[in-house]
Every structure is written in C-alpha cells, then in structure tokens.
Structure 1
Amino acid sequence: MTILVVGSGGYLGSRLVPALLERGHHVRAGVTDPRRATVHPWTDRVETVHCDVLAPSHLPDALDGVDDVVYLVHRMGAGTDFRREDATGAVAMREAMAAAGTRRCVYVSGLAPSGDDRRPLSRHMASRLEVETLLSAGPTPVFTLRAGVVLGAGSTSFEVLRTLCELLPVQPVPRWMRRRRVEPVAQRDVVEAVCHALEGAPRSGHGDLGCGEALTYPALLARYSRLAGLPTLRIPVPGVPWDLVAAGLSPLVGQDGATVGALIESLQHDMVVGQPTTGLFPEGWQMTGIDDAIRAALASTAGSGTAHGDLPGRRHPPR
C-alpha cells in the first residue's frame, strides 16, 4: 500500500513514517521544501515529494498512485492568518484527493470540548474542527483521530511541560487553569492509532485518543516533576488571563508566542476523551499510562531509551 504522509517532517510525521515502513508500506513523504528533507534517518527508505497544500498545483503529482493519505498539517499559531491558511489547505487537499480517487484519509486533530462547555472555542481548537469538517465534505472517506496533550520527547505540548518544570521551581498557576482537566496520550499510542486506522476498510467520523486518566494541568506538572526528580511548587494566582500567561511563557520555552498562545488558550477548556470509540487499536493493545509515557520521553531525551520516546510495541491479552 502506498501512503502519502502530508507533514512528514513534523513531530508526529517523523515518528509515524518509520512505523509505516516497519509494517511494509511504501511511504511517500510529503514535504514543503524537498531540500530540507534529508534530516531523518529514514529518508533513503521513502519517496520524497513536494507537497505544499498552499501550493495546490503540486498536489496531483504527490497523490498520483497513492492509496491513502495521512494529513498532519497543523499551522498552530504561525502568523495571524493561520486559521485561513489551514482552511485553504484542507479544501485544496480535499479536492485533490477527490480528483485522484484517493481511497481514504486519516487526519490527526485535537480533542474538542464537550457539548456542555459554553466557552467560545480557542482559535486553535476551532481551526482543527474546521479542517476536519472541510476535509470530510468531499467523496474521500476521512477518519479523524483527536488527541490532546501528546506525551513524547519533541512534542510541543510535552516540551512546554518539561521546560516549565525545569526552569520554574516555583510555578504560578492561574486559578482558571486549576479547574480544567486534560487527558494526555502517549506518542506511541497516537502512532499506533494512525497505523491501525489505515488497516481494514476505510471509515469516516472521528475517535478520541486519551490514556484513560484525566487530571488538571497543575497535577500533570506535579506528576512530571516527581518522575523527573525535580522539586517544584505550584502557587495559585488569581486574575491572570491566558494571553498574559502565554506571553510570559513564550521566551522560556523557546517557542514562538503564537504557538504557545494556541496551547495555553486551549487550556481554558477540558481536553478529555468524550464518548469512548471502539476499534481505534488492534485487539489486545494496552494503552500507555501517564507515568510510563513520561518515563519513556525522559529516557529518550537522556539517550538511554527507545528512539523518539516510544515504548516498545507491546500487545497484551484484553482485560
């Protein structure tokens, strides 16, 4: 099976490609700049193609002979028009897949708040849901996997978590952040879910990915600190808006302000799995707990764990 990974050079794409190769698939790595596509160890095992969704004239060649597409385009907060660019790219990919007769598309998005959350969606969340809707409006079956905080070395959300704990022994925590819950998911499980979604008959709709444990973001900071052996303390502070929090964190975590802002703004909502969805993993697959996912990411960073923070693939009898 030939699979086009759109966004293969990003965090998740660069972890997904070797997993697809291990399963015997022919991978076509879609990149916006082919000249920068030689940084990964799997480069000589894939077919690299120019695939920029904002330059749609390249898409027919990129999709020629492709069975399935994995769509990993997330512009986060890059520029003031990131939502418009995400929407434009989604429409271009939808039309190109329809013209090429692509069999299916798997899109990785973000967890959406429950229906009883009346707060306006963050720009980040709204854009993800809009892309999901736009991609799904064509004839190509699209299955969306929604994930929140991804625990794995290199993930933006994980690196923000790590940097906060390493640089701030005393962590001011806005009161609104203490009321909202997140449900992380291990990088290993996201990769497996994408691979599994490409097996069997094409499906439509969406499925939520989580570890089965929801906790507040301050509690997640405390969990990381304990596992990393870092003495930290969280202090509640009142009346601090999310944009001020983002502005203060951006220079610390080494990410652009728009990216950090998109993440922090989303923490105003509960980011937890909604209605459980069956069939997201092979039978017997055991989800990774928060502690194991953090330990794997820490081991990867130290150079003593599995590559990219993955845990070895394990299959266990169903519980």
Structure 2
Amino acid sequence: MTVLVVGSGGYLGSRLVPALLTRGHRVRAGFTDPRRSSAFGWGRRVDPVRCDVLDPATLPGALDGVDSVVYLVHRMGAGPDFRSEDAAGAEAMREAMAAAGVRRCVYVSGLAPSGDERRPLSRHMASRLEVEELLSAGPTPVLTLRAGIILGAGSMSFEMLRTLCERLPVQPVPRWMRHRRVEPVAERDVVEALCRALEVTPRSGHRDLGCGEALTYPALLRRFSRIAGVPTVRVPVLGVPWDLVAAGLTPLVDEGADTVGPLIESLQHDMVAAGRASDLFPGTWEMTGVDDAIRRALVG
C-alpha cells in the first residue's frame, strides 16, 4: 500500500513513518519543503514530496498513485488565524483526495468533550472537530482517531507537562482545573492505532484513543512528578481565568502564546475517551498505562 503522510516532519508524523515502513508500506512523505526529509533517519527510505494544504496546486502530484492518506495537519501555533487555515487545508485535501480516487483517509483529532457541557468549545477543540467534519464531507472514507494528551517525548502536551514540573515546584491550580478529568494515551498506542487503521476495511466515523484511566489535571501532575523524581506541590487558587493562566505559563514553557493559549483554554473541558478504538481492530491489543507511558516518554 502506498501511504501519503501529510505532516511527516511533525511530532507524530516523524514517529509514524518508520512504523509504516516496518510494516511494509510504501511511504510518500509530505512536507511543505521536501528537503526537510534529509533530517530524519528514514529520509532515504521514503518518497519525499511537496504537500502544502494551503497551496492546493501541490496536492494532485502528492496524491498521484496514493492508496491512503494519514492527515496530521494542525495549524495551532501558526498564528491567531489558525482555525481558518485548518479549515481551508481540510477542504483542499478533501477535494484533492476525491479527484485522485484515494481509498481512505485517517485523521488524528482531539478528544471531544461530552455533549452536555454548557461552556463553548475551546478554539483548539472547535478547530479539530471542524476539520473532522470538513474532511468527512467528501466521498473518501475518513476515520478519525481522537486523542487527548499524548504521552511521548516531543509531544507538545507532554513537554509542557515536563516543563511545568521541572520549572515550577509550587504549582498554583485554579478551581476550574481541579475537577476536570483527562485521559492520556501513550505515543506508541497512537502510532499502533494509525497503522491498524490503514489495515482494516476503509470506513468513516471516529474512535477515541485513551489509556483506560482518567485523572484530574492535578493528579496527572502529581503522577508525573513522582515518576520523574521531581518534587512538586500543588496549591489551590481562586478566581484565576484560563487566559490569565496561559499568560503566566507562556514565559515558562518553550512555546509561544499562540500555542499555549488554545491548549490551556481546552483544559476547561473533560477529555475522556468514550469507548475503545482497539475494539475496531482485529487481534489483541493492550493499551499502555499512564505510569508506563510516562516512563517510556522520559527515556525517549
């Protein structure tokens, strides 16, 4: 099978490509600049192509002869207009896949809050779900894998978690964050799910990815601190809105405000998996637990 990985140079794409090669797939690695493929150990084993979803003229050539597409484009962090750019890219890819006769597309999104929450979706989550809808509006079957915090070295969420625990031994925790739950997922399980999604009958819909354990954010910080051996303490604080939290954290982490803001805004929602993506795929598959995933990420 020939698989186009759109976003091969990103965190998840750079982990997925070697896994696909190991499974015997032919990989067409999509980059905005194909010369970037030389920075990866697998660069000589793939067909690097220019694939810029904001430049639709690059898509027909990238998709020529492709059986399946893995879509890993997320514009968050590129600027305040990331949502409209995400939407434009999804529409362009949908039309290009239809014209090329692609058999399937697999997209990685974020865990969606339960439908009974009263507060509006964060910009980050609204964009993820909008891309899912736009990609799925064409004739190409699109399977969306929704993941929360990915526990893996290099994951934006994991590196923020690491940085907070290493640089902030006393961690203020706003009231609105103390009872919100999150279900992380190990990097290795996201990669495994993507590979398996390409090996089953093409279908549309979505599945959630989670480790099977939901924690509050303070509990996750506590768990990381214990496993990493970094002493921290959490202090409850009142009356601190998410945007003030984001402004305070931005100088501490190695990300800009355009990235930190939408991520912190999303913490106002529960992010817990509904069902199990592993039920979709044949064969036994035990998801990695939180502690083991953190340990693996710390040495990875």
TM-score range, shorter chain: over 0.9
Match of 1:303 in 2: none
* Equivalent-residue separation in structure 1 for 2:162 and 2:282 (angstroms): 31
State the SS of the aligned residue for 1:27. strand
Measure how far apart 1:276 and its partner are.
4.0
More divergent stretch after superposition (114-123 vs 269-278): 269-278
Runs of 4+ in 1 over 6 A off after TM superposition: none
Contact 2:151 2:294 survives alignment (8 Å): yes
Q: Percent same amino acid among aligned pairs?
A: 78
State the SS of the aligned residue for 1:38. helix
State the SS of the aligned residue for 2:30. strand
Measure how far apart 1:201 and its partner are.
1.0
Contact 2:278 2:285 survives alignment (8 Å): no
More divergent stretch after superposition (271-280 vs 50-59): 271-280
- 1:203-237 per-residue CA deviation (whole Å, 9 max, x = no partner) reads 11000000000010110000000001111000011
Pairs within 5 Å for 1:89-108: 89-108=89-108
Measure how far apart 1:173 and its partner are.
0.8
Paired letter, 1:166: E
* Equivalent-residue separation in structure 2 for 1:72 and 1:253 (angstroms): 23
- 1:129-180 per-residue CA deviation (whole Å, 9 max, x = no partner) reads 0000000000000000000000000000000000000011111111111010
Measure how far apart 1:282 and its partner are.
4.0
* Equivalent-residue separation in structure 2 for 1:156 and 1:280 (angstroms): 27
Contact 1:4 1:28 survives alignment (8 Å): yes
Match of 2:230 in 1: 230
State the SS of the aligned residue for 1:96. helix
More divergent stretch after superposition (248-257 vs 181-190): 248-257
Contact 2:186 2:293 survives alignment (8 Å): yes
* Equivalent-residue separation in structure 2 for 1:261 and 1:280 (angstroms): 34
- 1:114-138 per-residue CA deviation (whole Å, 9 max, x = no partner) reads 0111110000000000000000000
State the SS of the aligned residue for 1:190. helix
Q: Which runs of 5+ in 2 are unaligned?
A: none
State the SS of the aligned residue for 1:146. strand
- 1:258-315 per-residue CA deviation (whole Å, 9 max, x = no partner) reads 1111111100000001244553444211110000000001112xxxxxxxxxxxxxxx
More divergent stretch after superposition (276-285 vs 95-104): 276-285
Q: Is 2:214 aligned against 1:214?
A: yes
* Equivalent-residue separation in structure 2 for 1:281 and 1:161 (angstroms): 31
Paired letter, 2:295: R
* Equivalent-residue separation in structure 2 for 1:212 and 1:200 (angstroms): 23
Match of 1:241 in 2: 241
* Equivalent-residue separation in structure 2 for 1:47 and 1:277 (angstroms): 30
TM-score by length of 2: 0.98
TM-score by length of 1: 0.92
Paired letter, 1:152: G
Match of 2:186 in 1: 186
Q: Which runs of 5+ in 1 are unaligned?
A: 301-319
* Cα separation, partners in 2 of 1:293 and 1:277, compared to 1, 3 Å: closer
Contact 1:169 1:231 survives alignment (8 Å): yes
Match of 1:30 in 2: 30
* Cα separation, partners in 2 of 1:235 and 1:220, compared to 1, 3 Å: same
- 1:234-273 per-residue CA deviation (whole Å, 9 max, x = no partner) reads 0011111111111111121110111111111100000001
Pairs within 5 Å for 1:1-319: 1-277=1-277, 279-300=279-300
* Equivalent-residue separation in structure 2 for 1:281 and 1:164 (angstroms): 36
More divergent stretch after superposition (255-264 vs 62-71): 255-264
